[in-house]
Structure formats: structure tokens, C-alpha cells
Chain A
């Protein structure tokens, strides 16, 4: 049994990873809510968010705006907008036109769109095959609570992630567009009869979800201090798993699922010998277990199909 401090340390790390996973998972769950589709290229949208953030930061540094307090918010804002628009474009091109055909078609289309995005970054981004170093912009240094080292940058990542989640909660529960998103998720036809513009709502949902993925992408760049074009594959699979554990269609479930996935990963790394190599195996085994025990997810409503 490892010492307690190590467990706490790993729990903190797990929380950090969990916040990023949760932000990706919220996108999956939102898209599933409004269009009943799994948007498999969402992971690659997350990767694009990280690359957009890095490009903006590089551009800002070249323009002489190097101060983190200014550069970082700008990078977040720009990346959210760029990635959000790309997300909307992805939806217009290959999700919406296929939404009425069989789910297999959407799945295949989004999978191949993800492949296209990935390969485009690999080929067209300068030296796209190499991992890209991400600048250290968060305050460095740390303090110590009972043997657990807490780094300032970790706190900053947690704070940004939490802020993003609170923002989603506000948008969904307090704004007109949020009400429209909820209405469409419940019943698209009834929502349209109440005057909800379906196309605009779907666009807004994809903008929101992709923007969150961009936040997650930049956060992961800040956390690992490097990004790689392949990161979207694992990111997407984990985000989807998190959304499924939480219950597809439920935003809070997705957040819970993301945090749980991060915790399971880091705990596996701490508790199992050679665990850091096998942490994904353990985490996916937990996902499988969830599917057996509670197929509709932690917070998912049990669906009864009517004919």
C-alpha cells in the first residue's frame, strides 16, 4: 500500500486530468442530446483547439505580447472562437446531412472526418509529426500541505476548468439559447412548434461543445507542456467513455464521468505495480464494468422505448 500522501497527490492529479476529460465529455453529451449522434471527431476538434491556442500564442509572442496575463486570455478566446466555428462547420458538413440516416453513417462520417483533421494537421502544420512544446504561461512554484505538493499551475488549471464548467451550467440553465438547447434535446419537433429555430440551436450547441473542447485542449497543453497531433484520438475515446459512464445526454453526468475517469487512471497508476503503463487498461475495464452494472450511466435516465 503506498503512503497516504502519494494517494492524495495522485487524487489531485486525477482531478486535474478529470477536469479536462469532463470538458471533452460535455461536448459529446451535448451533441448526443440535440441530434442523437455520437460526434466521433470531437477528440480531434479538441486537438485542433490545442493547436489553435498554440498558434495564437506563438503569433502573440512574435507580436511582442508575451505577458501571460494578457496572452493567455486572448489565446483562450481566439481558440474557443476558431475551434467553435470549425465544430459548427464539421456539423454542417458531415453530421447534420446524415442525422436522418442510420446512426452507422454518422459514426463512420465523423470517424473519417476525425481522420481527415488529424492527417491535415500532421501534413500541413509545420513539422506536424513532432510533439509541439507548449509555452509555460502559468505561475510556477508550489506549496506543501501535509506532504502533498500543490503547484500553483495546477490550481490555475483547476480554476479555469471549473470556470468553464460553471459557464456551461449558466449558459444551459439561464440563457434563451440554453433553454432552446434543452428543449431540442427533449423533443425537437415540439421545440420547433414553440418557435425554436432548430438549425441555429444545433449550431449553437456545436459551437459551445467545440469551444469547451478548445479550453480542454489548451489546458492539456499547459498541463503536459506539449501537444501532439495524435492526442485527439485518446482524448476523444476517453471523453466518449466519460460521457457514457455519466449517462449520455446528461451534462452533469459527463462532468462526473470525466472526473471519475481521471481519478481511476491516476489511482491505477499509484496502486498497481507498473500501473502507469496499464492505467488506460484499468480505466477502460472500469468503463466496461459500468456498462454491465449500469448501462444507462450514473445520471442517465432509464430509457423505455415506445413503438
Chain B
């Protein structure tokens, strides 16, 4: 078990080190997320002003879009140097590599969300700080749900044809429950009097989702990544 965690940690550290050298993915993904928010702000307009009720939806859409972009870019980098093969050749449990990659993605998405949440809060006059703990719980569980499926799909698509378009095609339908839960939970917290029981319900749904899908991903990672 410690070996598993050790390998995951090493893979994650390597991913973060590589990223910090150029910071290309972080900068471009954060900027892309911000652009998304702007597009929605201009697109969803009522009486000449952005639709404030849309804050929850816009936040999660931006996370999903930015996440898909970040996943694609991260694995494109691995594909370019075929280093994913080198990782598969290590004498460790292969799912540990999946966990390492997942942790790296979570770190990236954490940075993106750290910028997105204040941005959406300011532009849409949304009080994300009303129930900070529940909001954080929603963001954490939702991001894990999205990233767990996304990391698996992006990894398995690395050698596939049309992988750029197939990633969103496969990922979005599967992560719809995450989006629903995230948006409804956030909207509940953004009401005049935050509806905490509702938000807690959505957090528990997300926890279930995370457990099921991380387990499924760990299970299917090795058969999907090896050719037989």
C-alpha cells in the first residue's frame, strides 16, 4: 500500500515539476476559463445586465470546459514523448500511475478554481463565501468526480484516433451527474438564505459518485492501457 502511494506521489511530483518549468498549461487553462465566464456573461443577459442566477451554472460549466482542455493538453504532452509507456513499464502497480496523474490534475483544477470562484463571484454578485465549508466541499467532491473519469478517459485515448474530439464526447455525458450536483448545490448556497440541507444532499451524492467512479477507474486502468 505504501508502495502504491509512494509511486502515485512520485508521478504527481514529476507532473507538477514539469508543469512548473513552463507553466504553459496553467496559464492557458486559467485564461481559457476566464474567457468562458466572459462569453457566458455576455451571452446570458437580461435587461442589459448579466443574469445573476446563472452564476452557479457558469462556474461549473467553466470548470468542465477548462478541465477538458487541461486534460487534453496534459496527456498530449505525455503522448508526444511516449513517456506514458515508460510509466507502464515500471514494476509498480499500474493503478498507482493513474492516481498520480489524477492528483496532478486535481492540483491544476484547484488553481483554476481558485481564480474562477472569485471571478464569478465578483462578476455575478454571487456570495460564495456565505457557507464557505459547504462550498468548498462541493468544489472538492465535484472536481474529484470530474477529474477521476476525465483522467481515465484521457489516458485511454492517448493512442486513439480523433482523441481531441472524443474526450469531450465521452466525458460530458458521464459527468452530467457531477454538473447537476455541483450546480444545484452551489445554487442552493447562493440563495438569499443558503439552503444548507439541500447542499449537503448534493455533497453526499457527489461523495457516492466519487467512490464509485474512482474505484471503477482503478479497476479498469490496467486493462485499458495495455494492448491484448
Q: Do A and B come from one complex?
A: no
Interface residues of B (CB under 8 A from A): none
Interface residues of A (CB under 8 A from B): none
